[in-house]
Amino acid sequence: MVHGGPSPGFFTPTLFECLTNGNVSPTIEDVNDFDLTAKKTFKEGLKTLGLLDVVVKHKDAFRSLFCSPQKPFTSDSLDELFEIRYSIAGSNRRAQENLTVAFWRDYLLDAEGK
């Protein structure tokens, strides 16, 4: 963010409130030892860049950069993470790739229970 990089977008609302307010009552599901260590390390990193004070001061403006909207993880959303680069149409490799993609998408649907 400081040098034009992408925003994190993976914070839970509880983690963002803890980062910007410090006074949060998380549930046991929100925090474990690993999370606390990672939060402290991340917060120190933001301090060294001088960004933490800005985030705390303008937390409403930064919320959308740090927290992504909650949306369900589906077979479609997983499939969209991949870009298929097919071989030349009509080639033997392309036929194998089409079969592999069909099996992959069937697996995703089965895993989701559709």
Nearest to 68 by CA among 4, 10, 2: 10
d(CA 71, CA 78): 12
The per-residue b/e assignment along 95-105, b for 16 or more CB within 10 angstroms, e otherwise, is eeeeeeeeeee
30-39, 85-94, 96-105, range with the lowest pLDDT: 30-39
pLDDT tens for residues 3-56? 677 777 778 788 888 888 878 887 777 766 677 778 888 899 999 988 999 999
C-alpha distances in angstroms, 100 versus 31, 46, 49, 74, 113?
Answer: 40, 44, 46, 20, 20
Percentage of the chain modeled with pLDDT above 70 = 93
Does pTM top 0.85 for this prediction? no
